[in-house]
């Protein structure tokens, strides 16, 4: 019985959703309305209108028009795995994340790996040109390298794994075409994530036939080996 794992530490990797929070500029920002107000109505009830790729969210292959697999078609055990945190916070604005940035972590890449890229742009989240247009982004070559290593999923602390440049569509096509999911809009600045082994759980809202969904994504450590 002593070998049964329990949770030692848990860190939230998710960003807040709130009224008019920053999103991809082509999208309408979320709108939060109050249907019932507690002191007046006896209940408090909110209504939110937003697209499914807002704040911390997950992309399914169906996010690209030529692929069919939606997020609700994934077995739920595909939404967890061993975290591989790739620290690329030294990247300058608009710089590619290259294969050479991932090679130092190559021994950690397995079919159970969820590879997360820490750029520092999660802390820059705001309606600014820097946050929207100047984030570091995953190059097409690096995306192919991850697919060649058969990782389970990929994530980044910006609203788009491929940034907002002309390579963005192809980066998504490479990753999603391999049948994996992508997590975007993460918060990865907790320094504890750089120490020890972490496991990731990503729980998307269960929406039928969805190309993506908002998600609560967390990292945790176990008290003993699993």
Residue 45 lies in a domain: no
Is residue 1 a part of any domain in this protein?
Answer: no
194 is a domain residue: yes
Residue 84 CA to residue 33 CA, distance in Å, equals 38
Region of 150 on the Ramachandran plot (φ > 0 left; ψ -120 to 50 alpha; else beta): left
| Number of independent structural domains in the chain | 1
Give pLDDT, residue 226.
Answer: 47
In a domain, 41, yes or no: no
pLDDT of residue 166: 79
Residue 216 domain-assigned? yes
For residue 149, give its domain range. Answer: 7-17+51-222
Per-residue pLDDT at 190: 96
Identify the CATH number of the domain in which residue 69 sits.
Answer: 3.50.30.50
DSSP state of 186: B
pLDDT, tens digit only, all 226 positions of the chain: 566 678 899 999 999 999 999 998 889 999 999 999 989 999 999 999 999 999 999 999 999 989 999 999 999 999 999 999 999 999 999 999 999 999 999 999 999 999 999 999 999 999 999 999 999 999 999 999 999 999 999 999 999 999 998 789 999 999 999 999 999 999 999 999 999 999 999 999 999 999 999 999 999 998 865 4
Residue 44 in any domain: the answer is no
Residue 43 lies in a domain: no
In terms of Cβ atoms closer than 10 Å to its own Cβ (0-12, 13-18, 19+), residue 131 is: middle
Residue 24 lies in a domain: no
């Amino acid at each position: 019985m002593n070998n049964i794992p329990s949770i030692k530490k848990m860190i939230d990797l998710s960003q807040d959703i709130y009224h008019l929070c920053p999103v991809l500029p082509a999208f309408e920002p979320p709108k939060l309305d109050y249907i019932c107000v507690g002191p007046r109505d006896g209940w408090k009830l909110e209504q939110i209108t937003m697209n499914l790729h807002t704040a911390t969210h997950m992309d399914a292959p169906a996010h690209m028009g030529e692929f069919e697999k939606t997020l609700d078609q994934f077995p739920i055990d595909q939404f967890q795995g061993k975290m591989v945190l790739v620290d690329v916070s030294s990247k300058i604005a608009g710089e590619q994340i290259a294969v050479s940035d991932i090679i130092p972590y190559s021994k950690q890449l397995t079919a159970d790996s969820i590879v997360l890229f820490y750029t520092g742009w999660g802390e820059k989240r705001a309606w600014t040109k820097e946050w929207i247009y100047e984030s570091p982004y995953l190059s097409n070559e690096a995306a192919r390298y991850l697919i060649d290593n058969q990782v389970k999923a990929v994530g980044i602390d910006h609203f788009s794994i491929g940034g907002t440049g002309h390579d963005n569509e192809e980066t998504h096509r490479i990753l999603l075409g391999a049948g994996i999911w992508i997590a975007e809009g993460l918060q990865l600045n907790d320094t504890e994530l750089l120490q020890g082994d972490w496991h990731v759980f990503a729980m998307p809202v269960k929406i039928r036939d969805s190309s993506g969904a908002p998600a609560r994504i967390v990292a945790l450590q176990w008290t003993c080996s699993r």
